[in-house]
Structure formats: C-alpha cells, structure tokens
A and B are shown apart, each in its own frame.
Chain A
Amino acid sequence: MKDKAFGVLQRVGRSFMLPIALLPVAGLLLGIGSSFTNPTTIETYRLTGLIYEGGLLYTILDIMSKTGSVVFDNLPLLFAMGVAIGMAKREKEVAALSGAIAYLIMNASISTLIASHGGVESMAPNSTTTALGITTLQMGVFGGIIVGLGVAALHNRFYKIKLPQVLSFFGGTRFVPIISSLVYLLVGVLMYFVWPIVQGWIASLGNLVLESGYFGTWIYGVIERALIPFGLHHVFYMPFWQTELGGAMVIDGTLVQGAQNIYFAQLASKGTEQFAVSATRFMSGKFPFMIFGLPAAAYAMYRASRPEKRKVVGSLLLSAAITSILTGITEPLEFTFLFVAPIMYAVHCILAGLSFMLMHILNVGVGMTFSGGLIDLTLFGILQGNAKTNWIWIVIVGLGYALIYYLVFYFMITKLNLKTPGREADDEETKLYTRKDVDARKEDRKQGDNVSRLIVSGLGGKDNISDIDCCATRLRITVRDESLVNDALLKESGASGVIHKGKGVQVVYGPHVSVIRSTLEDFLDSPESERTTANHVSEAPRNKEDKKKLSPCTLFAHLTGSVIALSDVKDEAFSAKILGEGVAIVPDEGVLVSPGDGRVEKVFDTKHALNIVTDEGCEILLHIGIDTVKLDGRFFEVHVRDGDKIHKGDKLVTFDIDGIKKAGFDVTTPMVVCNSEDYRQINVTASGKVSAGQKILDIE
C-alpha cells in the first residue's frame, strides 16, 4: 500500500515536470521586468529619465513582467492540464482538454456562488482572485492540482466506457470531458463552502506570529513556505505585508501600514538611517535560502542522480537554481522535490523559518518587491549600504545555509533513497517491460483484446501499421503495405465493412469505434502485439508445440449441394468463426462423405456432427444442419464409429433432409477446420453447385 502511494506520488511528481520546465523562463521575465518597473526602484536609482511609463525601455520591461506573470497567474490551469496529461494512462490529449474544461467549470461554479452571496466584498480579504477572467477563490496551484488528479482518475476510469447504442457517440474518450465537467461543477460548489473555512484558519495563524517575538518570525517563515503548494500563502503573508498586522509607522509625517509599505516608504524617504527590522522580518529571511540554500539543494539533487541521467537532470536543476538565485522565484526548484519527496519539503520549511528568525535576530533590514533573489538583494540591500541594512549577514548566513542544505539534502536523498529527478526506479520512456507491467496488462485485457488481435492480424501485423486514427464510425489506419491487409479477419473482428484507399484503410465499426481504438492502442503497446503477425497463428502464441505449421492439404466437398461462405451461415458460432475457418454446403442430397483421408475422432452422441482428423493432422468438424443438436439423433444414421480409418468420399452419415426441414431446422452443413490457427491460410476454392468429392478447401 505504501509502495503504491509512493508510486503514485512519483507519477504526480513526474507529471509536474512539463509545466515546471516553463517556470524558470517565466520567472526571469517576471523578476527582471517587475523589479525595474517598480516606481520606487526607478525613483530611488534616479532612473526616471531612462525608464518612464510610455518609454521604450519601460514598455519592454513591462512586457517582460506581464508575460512572465501571465504564466504564474495561470499556473493552476497549467497544472490542471499538465497533471492530467502526466497521470492519464492513454489518450493524454483528451485528459488535457478535460483538465482545462474541468478547471473552467469549477471556477465558474465557485464564481456564481460568490456573486450570489454578495460578491467579493462579502468574502475575507485576499481570499479571492481572478482566474482567466473568472472571479474565484484563491486556491493557488492546489486548485489546479485537484483538477488534474481528479480528471486523470476519471479519465483512466472512463476513457473506454461503452454506452448504450443510442448514446454510443458519447462513449469512450468523448465521455471524459462530459463527466469531468459534471464532477467539477460539484467540486466547485463544495470548494465554495470548504475553502473559506481553511482560509479562515490560516488568517488566524497571523495572531500567533505577532505574539511570539523571534519565535513568531520562525513560525511565520515555516508557515509561509508550507502554504505555497496550496496557494494559501497569499492569505497568510499579504496581511503582514500590506495591513497593520505587519506594523504601523509614521514616516515623513504620514502613517504607513504593512511591512512592505513601511519598507518602501523608508526607501523613498531621505531621512532613513536604518530600515525597520520590525517590518523587514517578514521579508529578509527569504534571501539566504533562495540565493544560497535552495541552489545548494539543487546541486545535492544533481550529485545524487544517476550518472547517465545527469545531463538531463542538470539542465533542469541548473535553470531552476539560476531562477531562484536571480529572482527569488523558487517554485521551479521546490516543485522538483515537493511531490516526490515531501519530507524534503518539510525540512526545507523548517530551515526557511530559521532563516527568517536569524535575519530578525541579526537586524537585517532588506526589503523586496515580491521575492528574495539577487536582483532585490542588490537593489534593496547592497546598494543601500550595509549601515542601513546589515545585508552582509545575508551572505554570511547564506553561505552556511548552502552547506547545510547541500549536506542535509544529499544525506536524505541517498539514505532514504528518495526519488528526486534522475533517481527514478525505471524510466517509463524507455519502455522496458517489467514482469509487473505485463501482468497488469494481462489483467486489464478482456475480450476486447481478441478484437484487437484480429484487427492487428487483419492489418498485416503490428509492423505494417503506421498510423491509427478514428472518426465517428470508422477506424482509419495507414498501412505500409496494403497487400497485407486481410478484409476477412477485419470483418471477423466485428467490422461491418472495409474500405481501401491506397495505403489508407478504413474499417467501419459504428459509433463505438473510439472504444475499439483505445483498446487497440493499448494492445499495440503491449508486448503481446509483437507476436501478432499477418497470419492468424498468434491467436494461441503460447502453444509452442502447436505452433509448428502443419503440412498443407486439400479437402473435398462433404456433400452435393450449393457452396456458401461460412460467414453467411445463420449461426454465430460458425459465421463468427468461433469454431474455426471453413466452408458450408446447403445439401441437395442427405449423404455426408469424408472430405479426405484420415480417422474418425468422435461421433457426437446426437449424431448430427462428427470430428475427423486427416492424415495431415487437419482437425475437421462436420456439422449437419444448424442447431440440430436439439433433434437428439432423429433423422440421422451414422455409418462409422470413433477411431475408424476413413478415406476421401467414404459415406459417414446419411440424413433425412426433408425430415429435418419439416422439424423446423436449417440443413446448411458447415465444414470447419478446428485447428485453423495451425495454418497460414484456408481458402475456399469452389463456388455455386458442387458434387461431393470435388475440391473445396485449400489449406496451407
């Protein structure tokens, strides 16, 4: 159980990598752009002549800031889609679409409830936000993750669903967005009632911080880090930064409230001798672990990864580390270990809290625009001078932090065998099939796989299939060699028709085709499909001793009458070739003769059928009439016994055609090769009227 949960977490972690890969770039854009468009920064460094609203440089920086921030603003959506993609087993594009839709639906549902209950004003401050233009609850990345995980679960459960015929157009993958929408409509309603309660708890934690001095600063730091994955940190830190909770101070004659406001007011004031630590204690603590600690943790992860993975892992970790150092945007780095190794994140939170506390104790007064990277440290620490800010302590503590983070993380990763990037047990991409994979797949497969096997055989084997798609009713396949396509096998798989257009083959199944396609793709991914080739032999791939081909032989008409195709026999057991390949004759005379030389294997007690085995090993079922087992022997007279040697044309059974017909039965008599899978192909060589003893089947 624990292993299973761990495996799921690992998959979640891996599914995060797609959106995370984007974050370093977005972070740099946002960090640089927003720092230099901050009015206080511009004024303090007398850049007003160079960077001013409407000016070229300002516009460029503003574009950087806005394009970076649009990524972070929509992070929940990226996660809703990214996690759904990562966690979906197959048909990932459908999961992505469903994730996006479910995210919109959930927020729309929340938004409507907010509006109907008095709008944003009636909600707690900082508890709402706008997502894609929808006013909704501030749930951060957490909102996206619950959508992504839930949609993936729904997707994996339903993407192959079969609906009743009238609704079958909506079956399979098309059902996934539908069910996701309905479920997340309800999740939205639930969140509207549950989430504000959680937000309330967080806000009340603020009082605890204020009442506990240095220790309170530590609590602040721990909580702020711990809340990031849930998007709850805004509810928590914003009051400190922006309201009287973070302190109040009269600067240059005006009352300023909130830690960040105080810092920036002091920055703008010419009379500041030292920045108020009572305000910056809610900010300065970020620098040591963002510039020094986390990058060192990234190095530890790099060192702990398997050598063959280092190149790939290195580029991810390096870019994430640079982002953290420069801009103080830590999500790219934190998310690489948050889900695969939550315990590391816990340690990280504690150390982060300590950093805030140390900065408080050491009187460090460095503020920030929004996070603690090198850019902000330079602007608001180093350039302000050590006398005003004590910034040098950030570097000293930071160096210690780098060492601690490196040692702690390296030790934890290797001792606890945490699956940080580059340490995953086995890479899914390499498609090495483990015993477990195969077993899991075997359990999955039901009769759908037989259909897939038939389709693959009919298409000339796996290697012959270059591309599979489907429309409303047809499977559309591109094959490499159209001559290998076998229509009979495809029809046997349930198709109502096969259309050829050069290398394109369309197999018509009906509205449930999307389910067939999904099953087929699953099958093609399984190792078993490798053994399914153009011939039908692989029907029973494991019977190795049977697999050796039997020598070709010819069978002769077992009756005098009219030849019909087995697929036209009015009994599914024959027409669907459940019993094997063969041919049927509608008899004119009631004399069944042997189709070749061999031996009688078994005469059915009900006399209507018998099995014979030819000298070549061909196992034949001769079955007089359809459903005639019910006649219980009436109208039949058998002339041979089990074990008798027989020759081509020997009389086997005589029967009363008229009697059988009068009893209400069809006298069509199929001749079926029961061991069809031992042969490459079985061709009917006669048509129309035949006389008993005429060539009828070519078997090879």
Chain B
Amino acid sequence: MKSFTYVIKDSAGIHARPAGLLSKLAKEFSSEILVEKDKKNVNATRLMMLMGLGIKCGDTVTVTVSGEDEDAALDRIQAFFRENL
C-alpha cells in the first residue's frame, strides 16, 4: 500500500473534466485507488463518487494505492495531480 497527500492548486478543483480523466487513468491499473477528503474515501474509478467529493482549490486530498501495480499507478497518478490539479 502506498499513498501521497496533495493540496489542490487548480482554481476549479476536481470538477467534471479532471474527475473524468482521473477515473479513466485509475481504470488502467489493477490496484485499488482511493481518494480521500475529510475522512470520506471513494474509489477513483467511480467517476460520480469522485465528483461527489466536491474537491475544491486548497483542499487536501490523500490518495492511497494498493495492489500489484501500485508503484506504477502511484507514479502516474501523482504525475496526473501535479500536471492537472
């Protein structure tokens, strides 16, 4: 299990577009990828749940990856956050 914490910098937060991209990315991996905000955990592949977190600019999120390809998944997802959020 691996995780990282990220503070959202994009002014619009995780709205529809980034949520869609993130959930699409998450589906590429076999590991379970959880996004947590304010103690609420959602599976990153569940687009609607992801949007449902209502993550805004300045929010702190924790992403937890666990499974066989967790290293690769963590790298890619971390890069995704840095580039898009």
Contacts and interface: CB of A to CB of B under 8 A. Distances in A.
A579 B12 contact: no
Contact of B16 (A445, A605, A623): A623
Given A579-B47, A611-B48, A613-B48, A539 B27 contact: yes
Interface residues of B, number: 22
Contact of A674 (B17, B47, B54, B72): B47
Contact of B30 (A442, A449, A601, A619): A442
B51 A621 contact: yes
Contacts of A429: none
Interface in B44-81: 45-48, 51-52, 54, 56, 68-69, 72
Interface string B12-49: 10011101110010011010000000000000011110
A428 interface: no
Contacts of A604: 15, 51, 54
Given A543-B45, A604-B15, A439 B27 contact: no
A674 B21 contact: no
Contacts of A601: 48, 52
Contacts of A609: 15-16, 51
A580 B47 contact: yes
Interface in A538-571: 539-540, 542-543, 571
Given A540-B45, A611-B52, A613-B48, A578 B21 contact: yes
Contacts of A578: 17, 20-21, 24
Given A605-B56, A675-B48, A573 B20 contact: yes
A450 B69 CA distance: 16
A602 B54 contact: yes
B47 A675 contact: yes
B56 A442 contact: no
Nearest to B26: A540
A546 to B, nearest CB: 8
A308 interface: no
Interface in A401-455: 439, 442-443, 445, 447, 449-450
B12 A674 contact: no
A142 to B, nearest CB: 39
A269 interface: no
Contacts of A629: 12, 15-16
Contacts, number: 71
A213 to B, nearest CB: 63
A179 B27 CA distance: 36
A630 interface: yes
Interface in A589-619: 601-602, 604-606, 609, 611, 613, 619
A442 B68 contact: yes
B51 A439 contact: no
B15 A606 contact: yes
A621 B28 contact: no
A579 B28 contact: no
A450 B45 contact: no
A449 B51 CA distance: 25
A294 to B, nearest CB: 47
Contact of A449 (B15, B28, B56, B69): B28
B9 to A, nearest CB: 15
Contacts of B24: 450, 578
Contacts of B27: 539-540
A579 B54 contact: no
Interface string A376-412: 0000000000000000000000000000000000000
Contact of B28 (A447, A619, A623, A630): A447
A442 B46 CA distance: 22
B39 to A, nearest CB: 17
B45 A619 contact: no
Contacts of B21: 573, 578
B68 A674 contact: no
A542 B30 contact: yes
Most buried by B among A442, A571, A623: A442
12 contacts: A439-B68, A439-B69, A443-B72, A449-B28, A450-B24, A571-B17, A579-B47, A580-B47, A602-B51, A623-B16, A675-B47, A675-B48
List the 6 shortest-distance A-B pairs measured between CB atoms, nearest first: A579-B20, A573-B17, A578-B20, A602-B52, A619-B48, A674-B47
Given A573-B17, A580-B20, A609-B51, 16 more contacts: A439-B69, A442-B30, A442-B68, A442-B69, A443-B72, A445-B28, A540-B27, A573-B20, A578-B20, A613-B48, A619-B47, A621-B16, A621-B47, A630-B12, A674-B48, A674-B51
